[in-house]
Structure 1
């Protein structure tokens, strides 16, 4: 059998668009939100309430987007998504009222589902199913730099431009950089399909037997939803929570360890993780996040414990991103990958959207230590669900 190489050009192009996509559509929001609140004459809490609702609605749109990835191609969806992202960023920048701003933010999250990891993973699966798992690892390694690059960019730009002007700059990046790259990937995929008509296209057959797929889908969606809730709850409150525990000015430094730990976990997995199956990878990622939360809950304001918490959480989060792409491919195969991951993303994003509010309420009423314990217990349920999935797979995903 001929050796199939990882499509380096496509992975590199997607890496650029993922950095811009996550940087402009997600990470920059927290930096620009105070300016939005002041300009629109509303509280910062209301701005984040709009963002939470938009995350929920964006999650509900994921199955519809995933279905169209299978029908017209994920790269085609990403090309259209870049145009929609540019339009909605410009709409945000122009919006004269809170209502129009809220509508634009909702559309922004819908466009996010068309251009971020869910769509990028599907593009890699459709491009080369046999090497998609490896390609996903490389892509998440590149994409992991989105926050590292765009938090400083957004913070620096606020000293020179208003949030509206910054969003116009971001709209231009999506339109002039991401859209052409996605269009190139789309054209390259169509050209590859024509060249490959003379030989049967290799696909990946899932490790789950047909009769076990429904149960597997429910278990995996449940597991990713709990892990997503655990992570979203902590990330939304990490720095203020560390400060409230008693770590003071060190809270920001400790929180900043999360990003490098994410990238490090992906690099470690790329070099040493080839022997780990996707179910094992998912178990490790969920367990690391739970371990980190437990360490913080038990160590309180002890500095080494807080550092271990941030590192474990970052390591788990980094591997989790890889598992979100590779585990569905391993379990269910490459056929209908877009629709399958769309359904999973809907459950994960919808549950994750409620996490910041519920975690804040628990901290306020039961205290930080108890909130961390409850969150760790939910994460442990996720670990158990991933273990159940691993136990139900008897064969590795195989080519046909």
Structure 2
């Protein structure tokens, strides 16, 4: 077996389950939140607050999830996760009151960790470590269409069904599509673990053992800063642009973000597939921070805002690849699941807090100064990645 050959079947199967996982568990929520708030007699802010608390709870469970992935295999964990996701969607749909709905949201956030990128990347590493970086790039390109598919799909369903009916339909997708695909992937990994198929050889990391503790701390710090940029700006994209004076053009500018994400992944797949993950991380952080600087300097220029959306979207698209490929490159494939879980915990906790922090900052010091602070933090991520590069060089 060529260990560098991309496991096409695994990538395609995970592509389907990632589109469903992100579409049903994440992207659909904002479109249905208003109806949820009305049914439970709560404000939209309360509903989004409950969702943020659920994301925080999911972040706290991520390190434990990583240990499960290393012990039992990512395929088995994702199979169970799809079952939990289906049950959590049903629990949300049938919740009799707001508090039980909030508890179901926590289960939904935990299930998301079981089935989304962190677990999927670990599965690709376990299937074929030497091809994992290429496989991760291909997977993120496919999964990048989750919002493109599920935003209009959710809107169409919403014109015919209640939000409860939509969640029940989404539960069926997780139950009847994702569980069989994850179980099939789990079966292949189980055969390898039992020795009935040729086991994949482990690949070493480039960081020397003496630098790994510092390297991990630096990597997670940079990831957290990028996640802060992403989570803060994406949640407030349209009102932020409107507040900068773009008016009705804000919504149009926001639509460039998704295609830019896919474009950056396609470019990376086509011409940058062999680019070192650390260089890709620096490019990603530079595009995100640079895009914000362009927005601050040019506002309220529509062309400037469009350039921001494209640059920020491309950087964010590469960031998804980096979060899977850089830990593998630095630390190797042994214990990858646990490592990914620890890194994912910090990112998810930041994701939960960032929208509220950015909203407070915009109300307190203004949009332009808040964006300037975001750009400064993003630029710090570039410097941190540079320090990681120095740690790779033996003294």
- Name the TM-score, length of structure 2 as normaliser: 0.97
**Equivalent-residue separation in structure 2 for 1:343 and 1:295 (angstroms):** 33
**Cα distance in 1, alignment partners of residues 309 and 162 from structure 2:** 32
1:173 maps onto 2:173 in alignment: yes
List aligned pairs for 1:305-344, cutoff 5 A.
305-344=304-343
Q: Is the 8 A contact 1:81 1:111 kept in 2?
A: yes
Please state if 1:132 is matched with 2:132.
yes
Deviation per CA, 1:216-251: give whole Å up to 9, x if none. 110001010010001100001001111122212211
CA distance in 1, matches of 2:247, 2:223: 33
Partner of 2:119: 119
- For 1:337-352, list aligned pairs within 5 A: 337-352=336-351
Deviations 1:240-283 (A, max 9, x none): 11112221221111101000000000000001113420001011
- Name the CA distance, whole Å, in 1 between partners of 2:312 and 2:340: 24
Gaps of 5+ in 2: none
The aligned residue for residue 238 of structure 1 is 237
Q: CA deviation at 1:380?
A: 1.2
Contact 1:293–1:372 (8 Å) recurs in 2: yes
Q: 1:70 to 1:3 in 2, by over 3 A?
A: closer
Of 105-114 and 246-255, the range deviating more from structure 2: 246-255
Cα distance, 1:195 vs structure 2: 5.9
Within 2, Cα distance between the matches of 1:315 and 1:3?
Answer: 30
CA deviation string 1:352-388 (max 9, x = no partner) = 2111001011111111100100111111111111111
> Taking structure 1 as reference, are residues 337 and 3 closer, same or farther at Cα in structure 2, changes over 3 Å only?
closer
Aligned to 1:55: 55
8 Å CA contact retained: 1:23, 1:147? yes
Structure-2 change in CA distance of 1:189 and 1:148 (3 Å): same
Task: Identify unmatched segments of 5+ residues in structure 1.
Answer: 396-400
* CA–CA distance in structure 2, aligned partners of residues 291 and 115 of structure 1: 32
Q: Contact 1:207/1:394 (CA < 8 Å) preserved in 2?
A: no
Alignment of 1:45-194 (within 5 A): 45-194=45-194
Match in the other structure for 2:221: 222
Question: Following superposition of structure 1 onto structure 2, how do residues 291-306 of structure 1 map, counting pairs within 5 Å?
Answer: 291-306=290-305
Distance in 2 between the 1:24 and 1:72 partners? Answer: 26
Mapped to 2, the partners of 1:94 and 1:201 lie a distance apart of 44
- Count of matched residue pairs: 394
For 1:179 and 1:275, locate their aligned partners in 2 and report how far apart those are by CA, in whole Å.
33
Alignment partners' CA distance in 2, 1:341 and 1:2: 26
Judging changes above 3 Å, is the alpha-carbon distance between structure 1 residues 381 and 4 closer, same or farther for their aligned structure 2 residues? Answer: closer
Tell me if the contact between 1:282 and 1:323 (Cα under 8 Å) persists in the aligned partners.
yes
C-alpha RMSD of the superposition:
1.3
Distance 1:2 1:172, change over 3 A: closer
* Structure 2 counterpart of 1:266: 265
1:370 is aligned to 369
Counterpart-to-counterpart distance in 2, 1:330 and 1:214? 15
Q: Name the SS of the counterpart of 1:4 in structure 2.
A: coil
* Alignment check: 8 A CA contact 2:86 2:172 kept: yes
Q: Is residue 66–residue 341 contact of structure 1 (8 Å, CA) maintained in 2?
A: yes
Per the alignment, residue 391 of structure 2 pairs with 392
After TM superposition, the score normalised by the length of structure 1 is: 0.96
Give 3-state SS (helix, strand or coil) of 2:236's partner.
helix
Question: Residue 257 of structure 1 aligns with which residue?
Answer: 256
Hey, what's the Cα distance between the residues in 2 that align with 1:257 and 1:274?
24
Contact 1:280 1:390 (8 Å CA) reproduced: no
Task: Look up the SS of the partner of 2:206 in the other structure.
Answer: coil
Once the 2 structures are TM-superposed, how far is the Cα of residue 389 of structure 1 from its aligned partner? 0.8
